[in-house]
Amino acid sequence: MTASPDTPLTIARGDGIGPEIMDAALRVLDAAGARLAIEEIQIGQAVYHRGHSAGIEPDAWESLRRTRLFLKAPITTPQGGGFKSLNVTVRKSLGLFANVRPCVAYSPFLPTKHPTMDVVIVRENEEDLYAGIEHRQTDEVVQCLKLVSRPGSERIVRYAFEYARRHGRSKVTCMSKDNIMKLTDGLFHAVFDEVAAEYPEIEAEHSIVDIGAARLADTPEIFDVVVMPNLYGDILSDVAAQVAGSVGLAGSSNIGRDCAMFEAIHGSAPTIAGQDVANPSGLILASAMMLVHAGQGDVAERLHNAWLRTVEDGVATADMGSPASPVGTQAFADAVAARLGEEPTRLPVVRYPQVEEAIRVEPSVRVRATKTMDGVDVFVDHPDRDPDALAAALAAADDGPLSLALITNRGVKVWPDGLPETFCTDHFRCRFLAADPGTATQAQVVALLHRLEQAGVDVVKTEGLYRFDGELGYSLGQGQ
């Protein structure tokens, strides 16, 4: 029998506890007989400080695009302007749209209030507020764009259902805040309902994210697979990992059509770096997920079962429920390596297929809707914060086909008939509408902006008020 070729893999040791836990994971991978051709790249703080604002150098991209498989230790993201999050950049640049984070309790061996918890968080990885499009528009107001797309939502929701089907899971829960964000989270929820109908054997439910989060923290055993937009998924997967036992335990996969990245869900934990106390389990379990993806299910199984046996034998780092005699990072890895070939006797044994076919999801092809325009929202910087004075200034420009209908401040109607109690900032949204829906034109908007400029109004941005096949594509101002 000829040995299968080694799988090309890019690794990065990252920052903080990254190098220690990567050393530990690599030792276990090597001892388990993983067939890997490893290339190492540098990412993180040192690269940021060499002047690369994304924390990664051009050569590193070549390695990632060649191997298409990345095992990554956490990095420290510098605070403040000028630096981009490397994690977000890598996920988006390589199209890693699905972030899968299994959060499992290992009771009675690791203390948890939720002994039967076994939740998989499927987090959308490319969109939402993580588009990173932020602007300061006035002296007082900054904004962050929340972008949610139909194909992006469809891919992640379909991935969650395909994952549930593949892994014999019975329920997929969607969490969103569509009672408030009716268009963005509303689209995510609507797509969830559409896709769920194609999987009748899997129970589908939706929960508003606030009560969903409370239940996930309080009674996580009622959940199975949970699919969420990016921000909620980021926050709640940490919650889920922590209530399962420790944030140091969970591994995650970031899956795209062509590439995949595997990492622990925790960060670089700089305060415990260099002390040999960090738990390497998150990266070790991420390595098992990576091996399954790479078609080395046999090695993944050996590694994962040895890790379970280690936990059963009471070997634990300090974060794993305050053990009486915690072991260090490298000793934990040695304990896992020493148990390769053994299986847990009380925790469920894991079984992986030798080669697991990748979950492939594509958004469906749709006919584009017919787009018409009702008018425009003009956002203005108005330092004296007086809505009536602003309305008077706008009236000077309001002699065209688009008429002032409404002024809001942070979404609250302040003209006409605003309440004196409403606090105003210097950032106003002024809605101009055509007399009949769907009849506004870009030329009218340009003419309006020209008149506003001549009237001394400081326009900071505009948003078209569109309909798609006659359906409203914008939120109504409060009070309308």
Which among 57-65, 68-76, 304-312, 337-345 is the span making contact with ligand NAD, rule CB under 6 A? 68-76
Position 292 contacts ligand NAD (CB under 6 A): no
- Cα–Cα distance between 406 and 385 in angstroms, integer? 15
Distance CA 294, CA 7 (A): 7
In the complex, least distance from residue 263 CB atom to ligand NAD, rounded to whole angstroms: 5
Q: How far is CA 461 from CA 253, 278, 355, in A?
A: 38, 47, 52
Residue of closest CB approach to ligand NAD? 267
Site for ligand NAD in 78-117 (CB under 6 A): 87
Residues 124-183 that bind ligand NAD (CB under 6 A): none
φ, ψ of residue 436 in degrees (nearest 5): -115, 135
How many residues bind ligand NAD (CB under 6 A)? The answer is: 20
84 is catalytic: no
Omega of the bond prior to 401 within 30 degrees of 0, cis? no
In DSSP terms, 56 is beta-bridged to 43
What is the closest distance, in whole angstroms, from the C-beta atom of residue 250 to ligand NAD in the complex? Answer: 10
Catalytic one of 177, 185, 232, 413: 177
Q: CB of 338: closest distance to ligand NAD in angstroms?
A: 21
CB closer to ligand NAD out of 5 and 81? 81
Cβ-proximal residues to 179 (8 Å cutoff; 6+ apart), any chain: 208
Cβ-in-10-Å burial (0-12, 13-18, 19+) of 389 comes to exposed
Cβ contact 284:303 at 8 Å: yes
Residue closer to ligand NAD by CB (options 15, 127) is: 15
Site for ligand NAD in 12-31 (CB under 6 A): 17
Q: In 86-229, where does DSSP find H-type helix? A: 86-93, 150-166, 184-196, 209-218
Examine residue 290 and tell whether it contacts ligand NAD (CB under 6 A). no
Q: Binder to ligand NAD among 102, 229, 251, 267 (CB under 6 A)?
A: 267
Phi, psi of 406 (to 5 degrees): -170, 145
Phi and psi at residue 240, to the nearest 5°? -65, -45
Q: Which of 210, 218, 384, 469 is catalytic?
A: 210
Binding region for ligand NAD (CB under 6 A) out of 143-151, 268-276, 295-303, 359-367: 268-276
Among 14, 15, 72, 4, which Cα is nearest to 38's?
72
C-alpha dihedral sign at 220, 71, 126, 356: negative
The window from 72-80, 177-185, 334-342, 359-367 that contacts ligand NAD (CB under 6 A) reads 72-80
- Rounded least distance, CB 266 to ligand NAD, Å: 3
| 272 belongs to the binding site for ligand NAD (CB under 6 A) | yes
Would you state the structure tokens that stand for residue 426, as one six-digit string? Answer: 């210097």
Annotated active-site residue 234? The verdict is yes
Residue 233 interacting with ligand NAD (CB under 6 A):
no
- 8 A C-beta contact, residue 265 and residue 6: no
Contact present, 382 and 459 (Cβ < 8 Å): no
How much is the CA Rg of the chain, to the nearest whole Å? 26
Q: Which amino acid is at 33?
A: G
Q: How far is the CB of 94 from ligand NAD (least distance, A)?
A: 14
Q: Which of 130, 163, 352, 466 is catalytic?
A: 130
For ligand NAD, the closer CB: 21 or 337: 21
From 121, 247, 286, 378, residue interacting with ligand NAD (rule: CB under 6 A): 247
| Residues 380 and 460 sit within 8 Å (Cβ to Cβ) | yes
Among residues 260, 217, 215, 206, the alpha carbon closest in space to that of 241 is found at 217
Among 154, 263, 334, 374, binds ligand NAD (CB under 6 A): 263
- Indicate which single residue of 269, 350, 361, 445 sits in contact with ligand NAD (rule: CB under 6 A): 269
Applying CB under 6 A, the span of 134-142, 188-196, 274-282, 292-300 interacting with ligand NAD comes to: 274-282
Q: Is 266 in the site for ligand NAD (CB under 6 A)?
A: yes
Residues that bind ligand NAD (CB under 6 A): 17, 74-77, 87, 247-248, 263, 266-272, 278-279, 282, 319
- Please list the active-site residues: 130, 177, 210, 234
